[in-house]
Amino acid sequence: MKITFILPCVGKKPNEPYVKTWLMEPLAIAVLSSLTPPEVERVFYDDRLESIPYDEPTDLVAVNVESYSAKRAYQVAEQYRRRGVPVVMGGFHATLMPDEAAEHADAVVVGAAEPLWPTVLEDFKRGEMKKKYVYGKGNDFSPLLPDRSIYRGKKYTKVTLIEAGRGCPFHCEFCSICQFFNRKYFPRPVEDVVRELKALKAKRVFFIDDNLVVDREHTKALMTAIRPLNVQWVGQVSLNIAKNTEMLGLMKESGCLGVLIGFESLDRGNLEAMGKDVNAVVRDYDESLKVIKKYGLAIYATFMFGYDNDTEESFQEALKFALRQNFFFMAFNHLVPFPGTPLYDRMKREGRLLYDKWWLAEDYRFGDIAFEPKRMSAETLSRYCLKYRNKFYSLSSIVKRGFDFRANCKSLFMVGVYFIQNVISRGDVARRQGLPLGIPPQTEVFGGPGTFFQKGSWSPKAPWQGDPQTRSAGGKHENANSKDSIRYGI
């Protein structure tokens, strides 16, 4: 028996390499591979890096689906199903939109894969694979370590992705993470995290938890356990970490170099509207950041624009704030109504969606706005996001922020990381903008790794061109919303 794992790309532009900051290792694929019996032959194709050999013999195809890659995932599935090969889909989008995914797959995994994948395989072997497999009891971690041998031969960002937990208990209306995990946090056993780190001998780690510090006791135990391992790591936290200096001290001692924080907005009304209570109660961002900076942590700040109080002045204030704080990275994300979220439902009730399903729209481009903002047009919101990203990643801004010797450039290693990654991010601003979702089937021809050479007359258009009433306008990410954005490196 042979299984082919596929990670679909978001889309590709003709004759251009894929967005570099999105090329992180796909941890979900390694987890699925570890859950697959050793006697089963496994191959993996990363659509971001290589062509997919549809005619290569295989018995079953497994596709991981997110909203921004859904269109491409369905295109890939169609190619295999035409050849008589059954397709299984899972992931965030497949869980939040299972009926839609079921139209393009022979089976859909809803929820956590670990408890379900062995059953899927057994049913397939017997010729009795069900249309849906649903797990709603929680999020069981497998004691098996992810099988990263499945990545062999592929070039990803040189940082190892590890989970210490999943989910988030907050109730931000825009967040698909909250919906997927039912507003709960599921900690992974600390001993399993340590075992994985020791097995990998990894020295640079990204903990991909959506909020690493939400379970304080678990995080303290984790920081204490990894301290002797001499790893350097980054992770995602909430702003209220500033109130816990004990935790900040443990983070620094255990090797933390930086944190991603979802600030979202400087406007209290916007924070209240989005349900970002954890930020709304913080009286002074500057004071909170002063505390965090005492521990030498670099900060990746994510902001989100498009809520009802936002104007161009909101962008101007956010940029001034970012430059004053010398953020390592900053995301000028626009609001995205992800399916299955309270935000999507609200926008639909209010008649503000420009498309019912923007993720499948023919002329939707990355950077378009999928809804009608209150105080500016969709095109203007998209243009401002691009304008202020370019301002933040301008050469003068990069140099200015590089003079932060407490965090951004506190060592020769950090100097190299800071300047290389900021220059890459500067280039990726243009690579992302206007990126089409999916690849037109008649033009799917590949050249070198990650490069799409297209035949025909199709071409991407500028993201603010066209009639907003007849197309989607919309942002990991995307621009994606807050912590969702990390999946796309925005």
Percent of the chain topping pLDDT 70: 89
Please check whether residues 280 and 424 belong to one and the same domain.
yes
Q: Which residue has the higher pLDDT, 373 or 143?
A: 373
Of 90, 132, 121, 152, which is closest to residue 2 (Cα–Cα)? 121
Q: Domain boundary at 100, 134, 168, which? A: 134
Same domain, 361 and 481: yes
| pLDDT for res 133 | 96
Q: What is the pLDDT of residue 474?
A: 25
**Percent of the chain surpassing pLDDT 90:** 76
Whether 127 is covered by a domain: the verdict is: yes
Mean pLDDT, rounded, for 296-307: 96
Helix (H) or strand (E) holding 429: helix 412-432
Could you tell me if residue 188 is inside a domain?
Answer: yes
The sign of the CA dihedral 67, 340, 329, 235 is negative
Tally the domains of the chain.
2
Tokens of 155: 């070039």
Both structure tokens of 434: 């206007």
- pLDDT > 90? residue 453: no
Which residues, other chains included, contact 138 with Cβ-Cβ below 8 Å and sequence gap of 6+? 112, 184, 186
Q: What is the predicted pLDDT for the residue at 237? A: 94
- Using a cut of 0.85, tell me whether the model's pTM lies above it: yes
480 — pLDDT class (breaks 50, 70, 90): very low
Whether residue 467 is contained in a domain is answered as no
The pLDDT of residue 186: 87
- Summary mean pLDDT of the chain: 88
Is residue 146 in some structural domain?
no
Does a structural domain hold residue 185? Answer: yes
Within a 10 A sphere around the Cβ of 149, how many other Cβ atoms? 11
CA-angle at 443, arms to 440 and 444, nearest 5°: 85
Position 176 pLDDT exceeds 90: no
Report residue 300 as tokens.
């990746």
User: Which of residues 112 and 387 earns the better pLDDT score?
Assistant: 387
**Element (H or E) spanning 120, and its range?**
helix 117-125
**Are 180 and 298 found together in one domain?**
yes
Chain centroid to CA 100? 21
pLDDT for res 218: 95
* Residues 169 and 101 grouped into a single domain: no
pLDDT of residue 139: 64
Same domain as 317, residue 238: yes
Domain around 282: 158-431+474-488
Is residue 124 located within the same domain as residue 197? no
Asked whether residue 221 is assigned to any structural domain, the reply reads yes
CA 115 to chain centre: 23
Q: Are residues 224 and 290 in the same domain?
A: yes
pLDDT in tens, 75-84: 999 999 999 9
Q: Do 203 and 293 share a domain, yes or no?
A: yes
d(CA 292, CA 298): 9
Cα–Cα distance, 251 to 258 (Å, whole number) = 9
pLDDT confidence of 442, banded at 50, 70, 90?
A: low
pLDDT at 203: 85
Structural domain includes residue 355: yes
**367 and 420 housed in the same domain:** yes
Please report the pLDDT score of residue 83 as a whole number. 97
Domain end (from 101, 134, 167): 134
Residues making up the chain, counted from first to last: 490
Residues 201 and 100 in one domain: no
Decide if pLDDT at 265 tops 80.
yes
**Crossing angle, helix 395-402 and helix 312-325, to 10 degrees?**
40
* CATH number of the structural domain spanning residue 363: 3.80.30.20
Closest by Cα among 57, 38, 46, 41 to 8: 46
Query: At what angle are helices 395-402 and 412-432 packed, to 10 degrees?
Result: 160
pLDDT over 80 (residue 445): no
379 vs 368: CA distance, rounded Å: 8
Decide if 482 contacts 333 (C-beta within 8 A). yes
Q: Does the pLDDT value for residue 472 go beyond 50? A: no
Single-letter residue type at 114: E
Distance in angstroms (rounded) separating the CA atoms of residues 188 and 250: 19
3-state secondary structure at position 178: helix
* Mean pLDDT for the stretch of residues 452-458: 40
CATH number for the domain spanning 111: value is 3.40.50.280
Whether 454 maps to a domain, the answer reads no
364-391: pLDDT as tens digits: 999 999 999 999 999 999 999 999 999 9
DSSP assignment string, 306-367:
-STT--HHHHHHHHHHHHHHT-SEEEEEE----TTSHHHHHHHHTT-BS-S-GGG-TT-BTT
374 and 230 in a common domain: yes
Whether residue 228 sits in one domain with residue 105: no
From residue 188, alpha-carbon distances to 162, 177, 211, 258, 415 in Å are 11, 17, 13, 21, 33
What is the rounded distance in angstroms from the CA atom of residue 9 to the CA atom of residue 130?
27
Which residues, 6+ apart, have CB-to-CB distance to 260 below 8 Å? 234, 235, 236, 237, 299, 300, 301, 302, 483, 486
